[in-house]
Structure 1
Amino acid sequence: MLSHFRHKDIDLQSLCPIRVGDGTRTSFWHDVWWDDMPLSASFPRTYVLDLHKHVSVKYRLSMGLGVHTLRRGSRGGVEQEQWNKFIGLLQDFHLRPVPDRLGWVNDVSDTFSISSARKLLDGITLSNGGISTHWNNWVLIKINVLIWRIRLSSIPTRERLSYRGVMVDSILCHVCSSTVETVEYIFANCSELISL
């Protein structure tokens, strides 16, 4: 199911960021919980030096921020620069007494709902055709549907069938055989059909 969305360039994971509470269920280095990428990608040199690569946020923070958590101390340059940024970032971070959870950026309450997900996916995947649909209750439903399909140009005319690879004898109007059979031509311009 998720691969279907990835093929349509819909990244559901970015819409559900991790909200760290007590830090027990979030991977310190590999989950995206700070900024927009894992800490292993933000601080690659510090990650390589760290002795504890597969631990939770809670466990890593409980160890403290000293160099004793590294294979060796930094050797200056980029390593030292990343280490200083890393320490600065974590000194201001505090765990809270609530469980870790996923957020939902598509709703102001930050809580996932089927309704908000459906609205998001419909907005991305469904084409509205640029026009709103107004149903007339005094007309039969099949007439409403026909008018709706005409407005969206989704009637299977000979031109559309040929474009989709269906073998047709000719793409000319089957009534008058003078012009290409399009939705507009059938319902507005074909002199033979207008006279009916």
Structure 2
Amino acid sequence: MSYLKRFSSGTWAAICKCVAAIHDKNIIPPSLMHIKLGNGSLSLMHIKLGNGSLSSFWYDPWLEGMPLASRFPRLLALDTRKSDLVAERFQNGVWTWFWRRDLRGGIEQFSFSSLLSLLAPINLSREKDIWVWDGSSSNVFSVSDARRQIDSHNIAPPSRKTDWFKTFPPKINIFIWRLKMQRLATKENLEKKGIILSNSACALCHLHADTDHHIFVTCNISRQIWVYIGSWVNMHIPCWASMEELWTWFDGLQIQGKKRLVLRSIWYSTLWNMWRLRNSYTFNDAAFRKSHVLDNIIVSSFFGCSLDIKNIKLIGHCGCKTLWTLCNFLFTFLGALLVGNKILLLF
């Protein structure tokens, strides 16, 4: 863009650079009227032709929503007056042409015949040309409609639904959402973004790449944790090969109501504490180690499911919990210990 050379710093320069970067990546090309997306295209605006005095003959989408320059590039290259308006080309009811040489047979003559057939039914009026927005049924432009149209063609829909567990902190819910979307900051995902790392191996076992399915499913440490969780909840936990298998298995469990809330609380707590363990070894944080994982899973699981089942909320400006909440949590936790460290999902 020419204005980037005039403004090298400041807020406006930063905006111009962002726009240029978006254009270069073809997310929004310089022409906002017709966006190419992969093998297809997205028409956002077109011109409702009036007298043709405001519409470029070659570059504006005034004919069937697509610029003639995109349809007939060979004819555009031969034209000597590429900047003409539609009104300047339609004189006394006749279309005029300004070729730098005579048209040859083959593709050039075929393209010209196709162009004439498209122009045949066109008649100009006394009204002005009007831009029409195609992004909504009302044909009225809005930024939200434009954002929605672009996102629907550039962002893949989520592969599975993410449930918001209201009794867990937002950071854990966001973590589960990012995990299901495969957007965690694993070493594999960081390298995909062009970040150079000195070591891409798992910080727990140092044997395999640091990926989401390895951290939570196939790593020896994670398998040991899942074996313990299976023994704790009195349930057989299979050896999954990927996160997709884990989610599919969990979604297919024939458990409903309070039992499912309890199990989901344990699942979310387990995954979250596995991630905390991985981060502690990655960044050499001695405050959270393997010996802490199981205790943290038990405490956070009971706290989350007890609040969800009884619908107890934190009260007071200081975030103090009611006495009933504390008693319920402590008795539930002690009860689990008294039955041999197992949770019998029979209530």
State the TM bucket, normalised to the shorter chain: 0.5 to 0.7
Q: Which of the pair is proportionally richer in helix? A: 2
Q: Secondary structure at 1:111's aligned position in 2?
A: coil
Task: Confirm whether residue 166 of structure 1 aligns to residue 197 of structure 2.
Answer: yes
Task: Confirm whether residue 109 of structure 1 aligns to residue 146 of structure 2.
Answer: no
Structure 2: unaligned runs, 5 residues or longer: 1-18, 35-42, 226-289, 296-347
Equivalence for 1:191: 224
Q: Secondary structure at 1:130's aligned position in 2?
A: coil
Q: Distance in 1 between matches of 2:92 and 2:211?
A: 71
Task: Confirm whether residue 13 of structure 1 aligns to residue 33 of structure 2.
Answer: yes
Paired residues for 1:58-69 under 5 Å: 58-65=87-94
Q: Secondary structure at 1:99's aligned position in 2?
A: coil
Give deviations 1:4-32, integer Å, cap 9, x for gaps. 14523655321222221221101235534
The residue type paired with residue 191 of structure 1 is Q
Give deviations 1:137-166, integer Å, cap 9, x for gaps. 222111111211222333334555566421
Q: Secondary structure at 1:103's aligned position in 2?
A: strand
What is the aligned counterpart of 1:151 among 180, 192, 213? 180
Structure 1: unaligned runs, 5 residues or longer: none
8 A contact 1:65–1:87 mirrored in 2: no
8 A contact 2:53–2:87 mirrored in 1: yes
Q: Distance in 2 between matches of 1:114 and 1:165?
A: 36
Equivalence for 2:127: 98
Task: Confirm whether residue 44 of structure 1 aligns to residue 84 of structure 2.
Answer: no
Q: Distance in 2 between matches of 1:103 and 1:182?
A: 47
Equivalence for 2:62: 33
Higher relative contact order, chain-length normalized (CA < 8 Å, sep 6+): 1
Q: Distance in 2 between matches of 1:81 and 1:142?
A: 62
8 A contact 1:24–1:57 mirrored in 2: yes
8 A contact 1:107–1:116 mirrored in 2: yes
Greater gyration radius: 2
Number of paired residues? 187
8 A contact 1:23–1:57 mirrored in 2: yes
The residue type paired with residue 44 of structure 1 is L
Q: Secondary structure at 2:184's aligned position in 1?
A: coil
Cα 1:62–1:139, aligned 2, differ >3 Å: closer, same or farther?
A: same
The residue type paired with residue 4 of structure 1 is I
Q: Distance in 2 between matches of 1:159 and 1:71?
A: 57
Cα 1:82–1:134, aligned 2, differ >3 Å: closer, same or farther?
A: closer
Percent identity (aligned): 24
Q: TM-score, normalised by structure 1?
A: 0.65
Q: Secondary structure at 1:120's aligned position in 2?
A: helix
Cα 1:96–1:114, aligned 2, differ >3 Å: closer, same or farther?
A: farther
Give deviations 1:52-75, integer Å, cap 9, x for gaps. 765432344343328xx5679xx9
1:135 Cα deviation from its structure 2 partner: 1.8
Q: Distance in 1 between matches of 2:82 and 2:135?
A: 32
8 A contact 2:57–2:85 mirrored in 1: yes
CA RMSD of aligned residues (A): 4.2
Q: TM-score, normalised by structure 2?
A: 0.41
